[in-house]
A and B are shown apart, each in its own frame.
Chain A
Amino acid sequence: MNRPTYGDAYDSGRHEAETPAARRHGLDPGTLGPNEEMVLRFLYYSLPEPPVSAVASPSWASDEGGGGVGVDRISVLPDDLLLNIISRLPARDGAHTTALSSRWRRLWRSAPIVLIDTHLLQGGAAAEGRRPPRDGSVSRAVTSAVSAALEAHQGPFPFVSLTCSFLQQADHDVIGRWVHLLATKGVDELVLVNRPWLVHWLFLPVELFVSCSSLRRLCLGTWLFPDTRHLPRGATTFLKLRDLVLGCSIIFVDFFDFVLAASPELEILTHVGSATASARLASRSLRCAQFCISAVDDVRKINLLRCVLVRIRIGHAPQLRVLGYLEPGVQTLRIGNTTIEVGTKPSPATTVPSVQVLALAVPFHIAIRVNITPSFLRCFPNVETLHVESKRFLETTGDINDNPNFWNETGRIECIQSHLRTMIFHGFGGEDCEFAFLMFIAENARVLETMVILFEDGLREAVGATALCSAKWTSGESKARFVASRLSGIGIAWSLKAAADFSFDDPFLCL
């Protein structure tokens, strides 16, 4: 039997998400707790791929014949070709070309160069991007080399990635100088991640937010952000900034106001594992906002939202198409000025008709959480694709949901009755309370085309599934397909990069 495509996408994504990301940060295992480990792994996984690799090409036909060619033809190539070649070299190899001959002496300084600090490591560590596991002579040598390279080169820098240094409060001048040089010489894409975790209480220099106007992409990790309340308002510093990643940082209230106002072209905002009291997203350009493993509330005025938040307020978002994961009962949802509660009657003031893809995480065994779920669903009357993550292993206090007729008694839910075409149930555990929800969908979703139920591999026997297949499907014959998944039951899997790729319609399937 052919496996459904949903299951395939799910499983292959899982494999890819886990293998290369494992320990990419390279820190000493002893330095991090399990949560920090998880968040950092996630952050490093979401950093952009460098455009230049330190992997050399060992093979060359003439090397085999003893190496060396007679006539120097490379040095007579025109400047722009040589500059082009140099700009594809790792920084150190590039700087080495200054020592070749007088013809090469001045070229490197004016070639646009890619500066990646892992390339400044010794031998194999550079090619593999193995970052130093702890603060010490290796990381200090890299920090000094970065400083010297930034001083020596005239810029601009198309891509700079600095992720090896362990900067502490005493290094305030170092980061200050880096930012100053980058701001004055010009940088297009900048990745700036301090190590190991937020222990050094080092503030990012304000200059980054007021002078780095050439940036198109910016990734910042494990920093203490400056208090932007004192910065001048109304300045559009980041005229070209399209993609902003913030991770594992302390970010002040009002920062989002500031940075969104300063970035008129910003399309993708990603926020990983940072504590933030409030993120008010008011932007005309933003197309995708992702908040992962974060504590944030208050979100308004954007076109597309993909998130894990605590309190959400949707103000004015007429083009919000994708939303999730919402956790009814954990998160408070406000639409306009109405807080959604059990029994909130749907009205134009409490609905977001633009949302077509919705994802919910629900512990079906906890009464208080299930009870409010219909109210959440009623806020999004036009949902065509619904993802539901069953949170079976959630430890929580609260009464057990023991009403088998809960869903039948809940009344009409517009999106399920009239619009739902695709239902994907993640983490199915074969429990009665989960069945009750799926039966409700089967018996009420009139235009349903597909119901995919992903279950944990080990539960194949327990799932059985016969009851659902013999249900009275209002859409005709049974639409249920059961798919075993290694992922089920261990929480929500997510790929920041795939989710921010606008060529995919449904980010909850792009792992």
Chain B
Amino acid sequence: MAAATDDAGDSNEMIRVVSSDGEHFEMPEAAANLSLVLRHMIEDDCADAAGIPLAVVAAKPLAKIVDYCTKHAAKSSGLTIEEAEELKRFDAEFIEVDTDMLYDLLVAADFMGVEGLSKLAVQRTADLIKGKTPEQNRETFGIVNDFTPEEEEEICKENEWAFQITKPPSRLC
């Protein structure tokens, strides 16, 4: 535990970031380093008191990302089994978000190059898609079915194996 905290506090400097809608946030340098983009900016001496502007990340997801990075930076190396479990629990709770926030996190984590968070959000999205019929997934994600009935039939035929073994969904196949 002590070692992990030391790692995070190697440099006590706080890094400022500014969201696309003008809100300011602060996080320890070790946390900011979890973002590839921020790390490069820091290395290039672009981190100043005015803060690093993040043109495509709004305040709401940025607040979450700062949380995520701060938590993970504090526990980056030499984890005990208990600490690893705690971090896993943190991740599981962290990613219990609504669809809007999930998309925001997907895009922002990808843009900022926060690998762990990117994986977490992608896995969460996949877990939500799994085990559902196309119709159920369309409903959940608000996807509009723009196929003609003929096209639908063709798609079913193309991957008959996938639609056959499963229970037939209510509408398609």
Contact = CB atoms under 8 A, between A and B. Distances in A.
A72 interface: yes
The interface centre, meaning the residue of A89, A123, A149 with most chain B CB atoms within 10 A of its CB, is A89
Nearest to A108: B159
A120 B131 CA distance: 11
Contact of B129 (A85, A121, A122, A148): A85
B155 A105 contact: yes
Interface residues on B, range: 35 or more
Contacts of B138: 100-101
Contacts of B125: 74, 85
Interface stretch (A37-45, A55-63, A174-182): A55-63
B106 A98 contact: no
B124 A57 contact: yes
Interface stretch (B25-33, B64-72, B76-84, B93-101): B93-101
A86 B155 CA distance: 17
Centre residue among A74, A123, A152 by max chain B CB count within 10 A: A74
Given A73-B103, A85-B122, A96 B163 contact: yes
Contacts of B100: 69, 73
A152 B140 contact: no
Contact of B143 (A59, A74, A95): A74
Interface residues of A, number: 54
Interface string A92-106: 110111111111110
B7 interface: no
Nearest to A84: B122
7 contacts: A61-B96, A69-B100, A74-B141, A75-B143, A81-B122, A99-B163, A144-B161
Interface of A: 54-57, 59-63, 67-75, 77-78, 81, 84-86, 88-93, 95-105, 120-123, 127, 141-142, 144-145, 147-149, 152
Interface of B: 96-100, 103, 106-107, 110, 122-134, 137-147, 152, 155-156, 158-167, 172-173
Given A74-B125, A102-B147, 16 more contacts: A56-B127, A56-B131, A61-B97, A68-B139, A75-B141, A92-B166, A95-B162, A96-B163, A99-B147, A99-B155, A100-B137, A120-B161, A147-B161, A148-B159, A149-B162, A152-B161
